[in-house]
Amino acid sequence: MIEIKNLHATVDGKEILKGVDLTIRPGEVHAIMGPNGAGKSTMSYVLAGRDGYEVTEGSVTYYGKDLLAMEPEERAAEGVFLAFQYPVEIPGVGNTTFLKTAINAIRKHRGEKELDAMQFLKLIREKTKALGMSDEMLKRAVNVGFSGGEKKRNETLQMAVLEPKFAILDETDSGLDIDALKIVAEGVNALRSPERSMLVITHYQRLLDYIVPDHVHVLAAGRIVKSGGKELALELEKNGYRDFGASEAA
C-alpha cells in the first residue's frame, strides 16, 4: 500500500505540490488528471526521487517504508517504476544491455541471483512476445531513433521485465496517435495484476477509455480537489478544468 500524506514539494524554490493526500492499495489503478501546470509531472518525479524536486512537508509510506528517504535506484529496486513522458535516449547503449543491467541491479538489491545471458535472453523473449513486440527494437540503442509509439512501447517492455509493484505512467498518451495508443494501452492492461498498483497521469480522458481506472482524481494548483470513479473522467472531458480554477480551457 502507498500512502501519500500532505505532500508539499518545491522546484527551484517555487511550491508546486501544496498538500497532496492519496492512498493506493495493491491492484488498484488510479488516474490523476489535471490542467497544465497543476503539478502532475512534479508528482511523478517526487515519487521517483528526481534531484531538484524538494519535499518540504508530508510523507510517502510505501509498504511500510519511508519512500522519500530512498535514493532513486533504491526506489526502483523496491518496485517503483516511472514510465517517462519523454523517454531518454542513450546513444550506443543497446536496449538489451540496458535492460540486463537494470534487472540485475534490481535483483542484486533484492538479494536474488543475477541472471546470466541465457536466462535473460529467455526472459526478454517471453516478454516481447507477450507484448507483440519485435526483437529488432531490442538491438537498437535505448530510445535512439525510436518513434513516439516505439518509445512508449519500450517503456512498457521495461515495465514488463522489471515487474514493479507500483507503476507511475506519466502522460503515456502524449505523442501517440490512436493506433499506437491502443497498442501501448493493451500492453499496460496486460500488466494489471492484483499485486500491482498503477498511477496513470494524464491530461486527456481518451487514454482512460483504454486503461480504465478504479479511481480518478483531479489535481489542480498542487492539490487533489476532487476524487471519484471512472465517470469523473468523462465529466472532465465535457466540462474541462475550468471549474477547478484552471486559467485556460483544457
Partner 1 sequence: MAAQPETVEQVRAVTEQKYKYGFTTDIEADVAPKGLNEDIVRFISAKKEEPEWLLDWRLKAFRVWQTMEEPQWAAVSFPPIDYQDAHYYAAPKKKAGPKSLDEVDPELLKTYEKLGIPLREQEILAGVEGSEGKSPAIAVDAVFDSVSVATTFKAKLEEMGIIFCAISEAVQKHPELVKKYLGSVVPYTDNYYATLNCAVFTDGSFVYIPKGVRCPMELSTYFRINQANTGQFERTLIIADEGAYVSYLEGCTAPQRDENQLHAAVVELVAMDDATIKYSTVQNWYPGNAEGVGGIYNFVTKRGACRGKNSKISWTQVETGSAITWKYPSCILQGDNSVGEFYSVAITNNFQQADTGTKMIHIGKNTRSTIVSKGISAGKAQQTYRGLVKILPKAEGARNHTQCDSLLIGDQCGAHTVPYIESRNRSARIEHEATTAKISEDQLFYCRQRGISEEDAVSLIVNGFCKEVLKELPMEFAVEAQKLVGISLEGSVG
**Looking at the DSSP assignment, which residues form a beta bridge with residue 142?**
90
> What cell was used for 156?
512498457
Least separation in angstroms between CB 78 and partner 1:
9
Strand blocks (E) in the chain: 2-11, 14-24, 29-33, 53-62, 65-66, 80-83, 90-94, 141-142, 166-170, 197-202, 215-220, 223-228
Q: Enumerate binding residues for partner 1 (CB under 8 A).
A: 48-52, 71-73, 75-77, 81-82, 84, 87-93, 97-98, 101-103, 105-106, 109, 141, 158, 162
Task: CB nearer to partner 1: give 98 or 210.
Answer: 98
Per DSSP, 34 falls in state -
Q: Residue 104: is it exposed, middle or buried by C-beta count within 10 angstroms (0-12/13-18/19+)? A: middle
Strands 53-62 and 2-11: antiparallel
Report how far residue 130's alpha carbon sits from residue 45's, in angstroms, rounded to the nearest whole number: 29
Task: CB nearer to partner 1: give 7 or 106.
Answer: 106
Task: CB nearer to partner 1: give 12 or 231.
Answer: 12
Task: CB nearer to partner 1: give 128 or 154.
Answer: 154
Task: CB nearer to partner 1: give 152 or 215.
Answer: 152
Task: CB nearer to partner 1: give 17 or 167.
Answer: 167
Least separation in angstroms between CB 188 and partner 1:
17
Report how far residue 67's alpha carbon sits from residue 199's, in angstroms, rounded to the nearest whole number: 16
Least separation in angstroms between CB 155 and partner 1:
10
Least separation in angstroms between CB 244 and partner 1:
29
Least separation in angstroms between CB 95 and partner 1:
11
Report how far residue 118's alpha carbon sits from residue 199's, in angstroms, rounded to the nearest whole number: 33
Least separation in angstroms between CB 172 and partner 1:
15
